[in-house]
Structure 1
Amino acid sequence: MAVPFFAGADVERAVSPHDAYEAVKEAFVAHARGEWTMQPKLYVTNYPAGDFRAMPALGGGHALLKWVTSFPGNPPKGLPTVTGLVLLSNAETGQLEALFDAGAVTALRTAAAAVIAAETLARAGAETISVIGCGVNGAETTRMFRAVGSDVSVWDVDEARAAAVAHYLGAEVAPSLADALASDIVVTVTPGRDVLFPEGSLREGQHVSLMGADGPGKAEVATSELGRADLFCDDWEQASHGGELAAGVEAGVVTQDRVTEIGRVLAGEAEGRRSAEDITLFDSTGLAIQDLAIAKAALAKAGQLDLPQLSL
């Protein structure tokens, strides 16, 4: 049996930022309605080096398994933080239909989730947008904001990397981290080792998409700040155990009744932002149903690409 393999560049050619945005948005809604299902991701940890994650999902006539890593110390070694494979199978026959580079799929779905949450939860009239962290996922998030017509500034601990991303994508470099954190809309895409928003730092009316703290012990915002904001997440089960909200749950600051899943807002089943003065926080842990959405969108374009066929 031969199946097509989508390398990173193939995934990017097959799925535009607009395609990714719409696919992930539809996946959030399908998951909220129970049409697409998944189990919480399984972590195989080797801290402090990093971790491995197994992520299954079922929906839209397909089943998916993603085996992916997160090793934040890799870039100085010349290695990517995220590596792995996505396997897509036919849900009716069980036959494997395609394999994908997990890094490219992850970048697209992470960016889509960040921008969808920002556009859904930010206050009307929000003017300034910043992306903090210019690694692969941060750069893809910047590209998606630009694709939907938004001006954006970027910041990274590596000034040269921030400058390169800004130049390539038509963004600006924020004068400082403080300036970036003061934007109306902030997306944080960092390794999650350092708190970016300390106690009392969130501004009235601000929206923040927290994309980096996707595992135990990671945090981009102080636990006390979770008590000041209206809280949203991609999936409560994952977020309450391994996301930004987990520390708040452990401290008793966050309970399930205080958190709304973004899919329910997009499906019209729950309220989003209630007033211009509210602070909204979106905790993203990354869902297998998002990966499924990107994989399905890519597979639909397989006939237009000259893809290598792997014999299994």
Structure 2
Amino acid sequence: MPEVAVLDHDAVLAAVSPRAAIDATREAFLRHRRGEWVMPAKVYLDASPHGDFRAMPALGDGLAILKWISSFPRNPAAGLPTVMGVLLVSDARTSQPVAMLDARSVTALRTGAVAPVAARALGREGAASVGLVGCGLHGAWAARCLAADGYGPGVCFDPRPEAAEALASELGWRAGTREEALDADVVCCVTPGAEVVLDAGDLHPGQHYNMLGADGPGKAEATIGAVASCALFCDEWAQASHGGELTGAVEEGLVERDRVTDLGAVLAGEAPGRPGPEAVTMFDSTGLAIQDLAIAAAAVAAWRDGRVAAQTVTL
């Protein structure tokens, strides 16, 4: 068996810049929309009361991936990350294993990259300021990717003031209150989804909301009323309606399929985006395997081109 590359957390982040992640993520949505990249549904494996595992396969451009990732909210108390896992890359023509990547860094990059992709497609013309609610790993990469795409200045809020201040200092933004963050042109909520941070009364005409934290059953960052008050978009209806920000409003009968537009359809020019300059748009991101494929493919290309070093193992 040939050697298999192993890219750790730092290697993945060195291999794929925020700009490259944004471009790759946008292309992934278009490829999936055209049927060139495919993925079956995400599989959840409950590990209550600790958390859950997710298995996420995808195939495209000669590669097949499987991301095996976890969400264990109690981990930080034990000094461990909430999200951990591994992403396997195989040659789609021979099935030969190609690489193993740290799934935590891949997830952070693709979660962050979709923020400016959605904001460009759905935000109002001239939108610039950013409000960030949640400054953990994924929130930090959402902010970095938005900054790399020309957004800012921004306001960072987190229950841990030191996290908000550190990220704000890094980007030249400022730390502020939740209310100040929710006043921005583009607002990104990137919390664990265990409690609501956005209500209908927080919405202002012309805003765009990226809801990035509620990525599984039982999670929500916004009230049902806030969700139902917006022009709605999602990464994939099947995931978003059963385990995303839309779920509560769907279960209450306030939101049906015809009220929600796929981001890929907007990017491909097959569906309209923002209804008007005064509308409040909301994008529900649950995270797709084709996004992981895009980041993994970029990382593998960087390794093959000698732009990043990796360990190797023989299976």
- Return the TM-score normalized by structure 2: 0.96
Q: 1:167 to 1:200 in 2, by over 3 A?
A: closer
Q: 1:85, 1:100 within 8 Å by CA — same for their partners in 2? A: yes
CA distance in 2, matches of 1:161, 1:269: 40
Give the aligned partner of residue 255 of structure 2: 254
Match of 1:165 in 2: 167
Q: Is the 8 A contact 1:44 1:52 kept in 2?
A: yes
Structure 1 residue 82 corresponds to structure 2 residue 75: no
Partner in structure 1 of residue 310 of structure 2: 307
Please give the alpha-carbon distance, in whole angstroms, between the structure 2 residues aligned to 1:169 and 1:158: 18
CA apart distance, 1:206? 1.2
Aligned to 1:271: 272
Deviation by residue 1:200-254 (Cα, 9 ceiling, x = unmatched): 3311111100000001111111112222111000011111111111111111011
Question: How many percent identity over aligned positions?
Answer: 50
Instruction: Decide which moves more: 221-230 or 288-297.
Output: 221-230
The one-letter code matched in structure 1 to 2:134 is G
Is the 8 Å Cα contact of residues 226 and 253 (structure 1) preserved in structure 2?
Answer: no
Greater shift in the superposed pair: 84-93 or 296-305: 296-305
Q: Which moved more, 1:10-19 or 1:300-309?
A: 300-309
Q: Flag the 1:168–1:127 CA change in 2: closer, same or farther, 3 A.
A: closer
Residue 153 of structure 1 corresponds to: 155
Once residues 90 and 101 of structure 1 are traced to their aligned partners in structure 2, the CA distance between those partners, rounded to angstroms, is 18
The two structures, once aligned, show a CA RMSD in angstroms of 1.1
TM-score, normalised relative to structure 1: 0.97
| In structure 1, C-alpha distance between the alignment counterparts of 2:250 and 2:222, rounded to whole Å | 14
Q: Which residue of 2 aligns with 1:26?
A: 27
Name the SS of the counterpart of 1:92 in structure 2: coil
**CA contact under 8 A between 1:118 and 1:207: conserved in structure 2?**
yes
* Structure 1 residue 149 displacement after superposition: 2.4
Counterpart Cα distance in 2 of 1:84 and 1:246: 26
Measure, in 2, the Cα distance between the counterparts of 1:59 and 1:95.
15
Give the residue type in structure 2 aligned to 1:184. Answer: D
3-state SS, counterpart of residue 101 of structure 2: strand
Matches within 5 A, 1:215-294: 215-294=216-295
**CA apart distance, 1:53:** 0.3
Alpha-carbon contact 2:25-2:294 (below 8 Å) kept: yes
Question: SS of the residue aligned with 1:197?
Answer: coil
Contact 2:128 2:151 in 1 (8 A): no
Residues 115 and 146, structure 2, Cα contact 8 Å, conserved in 1? no
Q: What secondary structure does 1:144 align onto? A: helix
Matched length = 311
Stretches of 4+ moved more than 4 A in 1? Answer: none
Unmatched 5+ stretches in structure 1:
none
